[in-house]
Structure 1
């Protein structure tokens, strides 16, 4: 059964609020963070780029000695360089777009963890703050 637009919007708001209030829980539930995956992919592509560069240089060096079969080695090296560069650029762009841990940068008083007031007062204050931030 599909959610209505308002229900989907409320669910998205609740997810964003949970991510803002407890980023450690969210990262635990999601598993490996997307930022970490994209960084690893960019690093692997960097290694692939240098391996392709090595193949290109070796192919050119061996091609100067005689057989033309080493042209294929140079072409494979060049193709590996291009593929690695595209992969690295794509992954690195996504590292910047991945959501960082938002709750760690804010001071503790702004996170709604003050010791005064009851649990319900704190929850009401959080709800009011969310409602004011979202423009309701």
Structure 2
């Protein structure tokens, strides 16, 4: 069920207020971060190599096996970190919110409504 205009305005106002005043919301991951398929594959390969190294370290035993096991564990940890760390998309593809219309046909309905709401709020 779509929101009414009043509900949409209220939601937009709350969102702007949060973005201005709440540092946690501003620093939260946004749409400009995503997981990379390449990093997922490299991380999985590194994780599997680490598991293999850990098994080899257990099979070797002795002091050399401990060293191999520690190196394999670090490789597994690095593989997981590489796989789950999001990359930052280039900001050059994102349009800037400078208040100028993004297209030559003019601002969208929501942009016009937001501008009207801002002007009305500043008038108080």
Interval containing the TM-score (normalised by the shorter chain): 0.3 to 0.5
